[in-house]
A and B are shown apart, each in its own frame.
Chain A
Amino acid sequence: MTTAGASNPFPLILPESLVLGQLSAALGSFIKAAAWEVGELFDAVLAPAFGVDWLSENFGGVYTPNLHDPDFVFNWHQPDSILWQALPPYSPDLKNRFGNARRTRNRWEHETAKQNVHSFLNGVDQLRRLADPLTLDVANYGPSLLERAKLLHKAGGVLPPSESEIELQRQKEQAEEARREAEEAVKMANETAAAANQLGVKAAEASKAKEQAVQQLAQVQADLEMLERNLAYAGRASRQSLTEPADDLEPGAPWGDLPLGIRTLTLKANMVDLMDRTTQTLLSQQMGPIATEAAARWLQILPSGGLVHLTPAGHAAGQLDGVYVYLGRLDHS
């Protein structure tokens, strides 16, 4: 129910895990988007009726409230408030729904640390219960958030990495440690062999030890490469098991109103790679060539690189001339 020509600047953020920060960001996107849309609704009706200064003239005091501020929008609006002229007919029930939205906003704004999955689900429900009777466009945020929370709950709280990915990652870290040790062993064996050659003693023995160390390093390296391949397969399977609305988009198409992925990356034109802004690691270090291949494809659409949002299924969106466009999927099929 947005006024013509205005688009909501608060796209839905879907949580990728059930940790508090993710839930707060997700519910926050619903609260801000709903407040923005109701503010537009007020302005569309009240500006023609009372003039463009209706807000300051009717609600201004020391400060004039912000039209889109949840603190102004979500309130127990009194029956005689002019705001009801932009809303469905006054009822105590609808007034309470505004009040409950305010409570939700205040809890997540001022007492975030005390919140949890249950209060998140309740908060989504309270916002939905207000958005539905007002027929807000953002009413669809509610079902999307509830569906994602359910999916995350079933998946044990996190999407991705899957459990198999975590286990493979652990094995990979062990293999990397083993490789470091093997490299050190080769270095020492080289030094010993060189010293033995110089002194002309035990040269054959040192040479054999060096050969063994080199073989050990080759084996560890092969194990590591196999683990990296398995990890890449597991990650790909995890991402491709998800169905998302962006599945139907073609690279370069407008992203539209689809929820942006909460995982943010920097598409790096100079390195043809992606920097995970949360973990501050290159995606190629986590995923190998999948990341650099995706970066090369996405740079054809965004040649200068920049901020990219990645969904759990691996769909990427980035801004081109101020508009979000679909860049493609991490796993090129």
Chain B
Amino acid sequence: MASRQHKLVTAAAALAIAGAAGFFLTQLSAVQGRGTLAQAPLNADVQVPPAFIMAVDDSGSMTFEGLYPGDEQGYWNDLAGSAPNGFFSGPNVLHTTGRGAYYHILPNGIRLDQGGNTLNTATPPRLAIPPLDLFGFARSPAYNNQWFDPAVVYPPWKYANGTSWPNAPITAARSDPRADGSAGTRGPNPAVLYNFTANEDRTANYFAFRFQPGMRLPRGTEYYIRSDRHSNGCGGLGTSNATRNSWQTITTTAGHLVTTANNLAFTNDGSNRGGGCEYHIRYFPAVVFLPILSPPPTGFNVANRVLALDAGGPGVNLYKYELRPGNFTSGYDAHIQNFANWYTYYGNRNRAIVAAMSSAMLEVDNMRVGYFSINRRSGNNPGMNSGDLLMRDLNSGGRPLLYDDFFTLRADGGTPTRSASVYMGDQFRRTDSGAPIQRACQVNSGMLFTDGFTNENPTGGFGNSIRPVGDSDSGQPRPIGGNGNGNTIADIAYSFYDTNLRPDLPAGLVPLREACNNAPVSLRVDCQTNLHMNYFGITLGSKGEIFGVNAAATSDPYTNFPNWSVTGTTSLSPKNVDDIWHATISTRGEFINAQTPASVAEAMRRVLASTSAGASPSGGIALTGSRIGTGSITVVPSYVSRNSGTDWYSTLTAQTVTTNAVTGQATFTFAWEAADRIPAAASRNDVWFGTPSGAQPFNAANVGSLANLCNSPQSGMSLCTPTELAALGAPGPLITLEDAIAYLKGDQSKEAERNPGGTLRFRTTRLGDIVNATPIVSSPLDNYGYQSMPAPFGGASYDAFLAAKKLSNRSMVYAGSNEGMLHGFDGRTGVLGGIERFAYIPQAVLGHMGNLLFPYDPLRGGAQKFQHRYFVDGPLTVSDAYFGGRWQTALAGSTGAGAKSVFAINVSNVSRNVGAMVASDRLWEINDQDTSLPLAVRNNLGNVLGRPVIVPIRTGSGSGPVTWRALFGNGYNSVSGKAVLFMVDIAPGTPVVTMVEAVEASAPAGTNGLGNLVAIDRFSPATDGTLTKRSRDGFVDTVYAADQKGAIWKFDVRAATPTNQTVPLFTTLQYTAGAEAGTRQPILGGLTAAPGPGGGVLVYFGSGSFSFNGDVSDTTLQTLYAVLDRGTGGTVARSSLLQQTIISTTGGFRTTSSNPMEAGRNGFYIDLPPGERFVGYPRIESGVLFMPTYEASAPTGCRAVGNNWLYGLNALNGAAGLSAARLGSPTGTSPGAGTGALNLETGGTAPVRDVAVLTSPRLPPLAATATPAEVAAALAAQCAMIVQVAGAPPMYLPRACGRQSWRQLQ
């Protein structure tokens, strides 16, 4: 009956794009179950690499330096000279029509529109906005998204190996970081150098600024007129030889107004360059204008800033901050370096996109990437058809070549986005050996980076006629469906989403997101299971006719349906932007408006993250109400790792279970999701943390200092220092303890990526990953069977407690997660369900919670500062217990690999309908750092990975004292290295610890540790009062436990001081060859026990480990065992067990032997194939032994590794027990006779740890009107049990039900 709570725990599986963390790569030991405990799920970096194709705009507009709200150029529109600032039509509102074409800011000595190559006669010419204070908006990130923002750090480009390009010299910053004349460079050759520490006063041609009529040179402006440009001067200046070709100063108070009369043609210039006058201006180039209310650059002496009147439009003043040494009290060097780097590496869109790509792609490992620029497709690669795109596998050295491509991105062509999109999608349809799609379950994304409008039509453009796709989204619901117009980008993209890209591969295997299972499924969610492409668009602040025009109306296109325009043949229109937006919506991609160069990298990371986050299979299941009926719920956690393993999060989903009365089919219905319902940080008052004496509310006053979040004494756990944490706020204010606590409590306002200015780690949900501390459900109906105990425990006392519990308690769901907390969620269905009722941070893990603040750092690639650590990761247990003179409910749990700590909490208060935790509810916490505990206790306590139990024990005699105790193995890697059974009285106060050691004389070398255990009741008081009568009295007296070295120990706990054990009940196979010679199969999985023949006890367990760093690659032989303890003492030999074998494996089913049990055999065993191991918990139900096993290697089908099998064997002799199983439904296919194991399609890579068994009620008699079909269904369905593991379809097994025998006695 070990059912209900922990039933099926697959330690959740995760899709991780995860750059493998360093510790994961060190596989020191060749033996399973030895060495260092892993600090992240071992399956976390296993997945099918997604394919990602980037199409990057290399059009000429990528050289532009302006990016204003709504446009990429400034328009001068003040011929009269009356308005204070003619770029503006009103306060903060820029003109969108007018004179000039001010695409640039910093002239560089060449015709800005000619690229240094050919003369471009386009009109109007591209100009640079004059460096006047009045035009400060152009040099302000508040108006020009492309200008330097002092609050942003602009790191240089990255090479493929992660090293940076050199810092730009502040006195000679290049206009292009690439070598002069090398591929991809654009603009002046050689590059122009800017000195950002001095005034800019070059007088060479094309360093001048164009002043349109209506512009005014203010008094004091120093100007220079070249006589070869204006042979007679211009606008009344430079009218004499003396004032041409020399620096002059405006002296008139009103300045000098350029008028229409000055709208002169130029001499010595072959093209029409519009009107106005060209003046060289002496100015200081390292400058930034910020709005009045914006914080100044850090360290800037605000006395030295200058108010620039009307620089943001009429009446809108800006502050001008010149980055000069004298203007800073501190930090000048960093600011000016940042400015120089900005100019060299981010100064125009071409350079900014290279910076973004080179930094964003650095962190991606597990991906195959194709790259092309939209005007140039790679072709003629060896072995490929002309035009085939070469996919580069980042796992195997593709990155340097990919980066070579990035650095040669040019900027001189049209914008053929339509044909580029077709080309992109067509790549995914290839079937050659280098095709982007390699697996039937692969996730695929395409990304178009463009800054502007399409300039091709379906039959023209880039040298190719476009393969027509017609109106592919016809008939789709809004906003997916178009407007009846065909061959738009949306149609093109949708055809690659809707139509299976690879009909030659099996269809329907692409994993689904969880949201697809929860009806009603939102249109936003990608629920396409055939191979398809998600289309992403990144644009630089472009506006469409709809997109970006009205933020409120376009923020949610699924609610406010955009009215898609006719765009099939449209070119150079804002409608093209809407079309790309439409395409991203249709294909469930994302359209990202990257407003600043820095946000381009961020946006690309989101694209990559979306690609990798894909589907995350469910994790474990807890359930209550295993007999399906009222109150039956299952709780399923799942975890995901993304952002290079920095964003670990969970969802915890509860489903109600119902069963069809006729067919017996179980239905799971979404009830709530807990991560969504965690209270806001400010109102989350029920978070407690452990202290040596109890628990305190988790707030700044109680925690004391940032140092207390970084002081874990366990080596390697804490990665932070208080100084580092505080500095995370940069460039904003320091992170305070209050900030840190708020963040840890779930405040997301300081998260990077989520909020502007956010600097702390991004969390997709506020619930950390739940891995091994999978949930348990505690129901008010739970009866632990203590009625039969003597007073004061049993009888009326316990009955009254049960009645009170049923009346006033709520269901609770407890789960530990690796953001540091044990959570207690409201387990009821409905609106109250899933709300967190309390959280507890064990004392032992508080010292590495500071780690959690470290954000994803794109500059660090796969070596992130943040690394996954376990916190509350040990299995949990809940039970009623009698202490303090009354019945209460207690929870015990451990921190798993996160710390050497076990704690107990009285959950009686929190499980009341209106209850909350109080300080005294923390019963105790024992950890290896608590010096108030005896040294022996601290030295014996290791990382407890086994599941504790809370059981009553009577010691001494039939009238001896009774205590409820938490029992657990001492865990692994303790100081003493012994195997010790811990028994801790559950009552509060100083923990009363009883330790029983198991010391084997001839054990293999190495440290040991006791893992899982099973406690049973074998004896009751005999007539003489001793606890020796062979029957049950409700008190535990025998404990079987497994150790790391492969021994099963039997502890007798009837004595007040139980004797240490020296002879194990059983030892596993000892290896005789290889690196593991001399060691035995480790036992880290769970145990269970059942009555055996002849009054003995059958103990069930399996060998293997998946918790230590070396375990993944180890393929030593592991075995499932059932050992009969006849109670005669001594060690049972493996050779005395009956051997069952795996006969064959076909199509996901294993045929196993059914050898009959022979006399004298002490149980049975079955050897597993190489690589397979048992790390879950066995389960016996109706005579069938269920044991999940995990195969950590050997790719099959789509899954890279991580294959789960479920064995179903006869519990007495190990014969195959799944012959009668039905898959999927009570009438589903049967695997056939002799089947002993089947492959679990969990959709994940994590080990399944538990098996859930549910049964449906017996069918009531059918109505007289029942149809023959209903009768047949009912006959087929009656008396089935539903065997389920997380993520896999259910399996139905017949069970006996109703009366099994009847006799009349008299």
Is the A/B pair a real complex?
no
Q: Which residue numbers of B lie inside 8 Å of A, CB to CB?
A: none
